[in-house]
Structure formats: C-alpha cells, structure tokens
Amino acid sequence: MNQNTAMEIEADLNQARRTAVMAHNVVIRLRELGLPEALDAELASVSTDLGDLWGAQKEFTDHLHDMLKTSHDWDSIGDSLVDMRASIDHIAWHLQSIREPLTKLAEYAYSQAHDPAADSPPPPGENCCAVELDAILDPASTEMTR
C-alpha cells in the first residue's frame, strides 16, 4: 500500500467517524426530548440518513473543490466528475429513504409541541456529545482533520 492510499483510507476512516458521531448525536438529542421507543425504527433510519447526508454533502463539496482547484487534465476532471456523481447518487438514495420516517418524527414533534402537559426538553447539547459535535461542525477543526 502506498502512502497516498494509506492517507486516503485514514481520511475515509476519519470521515466515517464524524458521520457516526453526527448520527449518534441525532439519537441522543431525540432521546433527551423523550422520543418514545415506539419510534425506534424511524429514529434509526433518520439518524443514519441524516449522518450520511451530512457526510455525503461534505464529500461532494470536496470533490467539487478538487475539480475546480487541483484538476489540471481531463483524466483528473473525469475522476472528479465520477466522484461527484457517486456522491449525488448516495445523497439521492438517502433523500428517498428519509422522507417517510422523517415525516413521522416531525408529526410526533409537533404533537408534543402542542401538548401543554409535555415536559420541557433540556437545552441542546446538555447531555449530548457537545464537544464532539462542536468539533465536527466547526469548519476550522474539519480542515485540520483532512
């Protein structure tokens, strides 16, 4: 394995970790708010899809940047376009997958928002992995982990 391949694998592992943390934080936040176990299937689907959508949009942006800034020949342009197409296909799959469970969770959220007996939720990030989430969402820290 050459050094470039090893660095690409490490970058992929780092992105996979960030995506997993994002999905985990979706689960934690909705659990903090009291999402019932009856909606576990929807929660699993939505958290996975949101994490993957977040990661895929970052990959797409990276491929677009590579094409615009670092591709100097048609072969590398072609590679970038194929990579963007793969990212778009990945995004499209998750967009289709997330619709129904996201709608169910939104309906539940609004039903709870209009219920005066519902407990007040904790502030965002109180019990969540706030440090990890802040690091993921901070563009400066993301640049450092590339």
Does the pLDDT at position 129 exceed 60?
Answer: no
Read off the pLDDT band of 145 (50, 70, 90): very low
What's the pTM value of the predicted model, to 2 decimals? 0.71
Chain segment 1-37, per-residue pLDDT in tens? 556 666 666 668 888 899 999 999 999 999 999 999 9
What distances in angstroms separate CA 62 from CA 84, 92, 102, 115, 129, one per listed residue?
9, 18, 27, 43, 26
Q: What is the DSSP string of 61-72?
A: HHHHHHHHHT--
- Using DSSP's 3-state secondary structure scheme, residue 120 falls into coil
List the domain range (segments joined by +) for residue 77: 3-144
Does the pLDDT at position 127 exceed 50?
Answer: no
C-alpha angle 31-37-38 in degrees, rounded to nearest 5: 135
C-alpha angle 75-80-66 in degrees, rounded to nearest 5: 110
Chain segment 28-82, per-residue pLDDT in tens? 999 999 999 999 999 999 999 999 999 999 999 999 999 999 878 999 999 999 9
The domain total for the chain is 1
- Which tops the pLDDT comparison, 15 or 145? 15
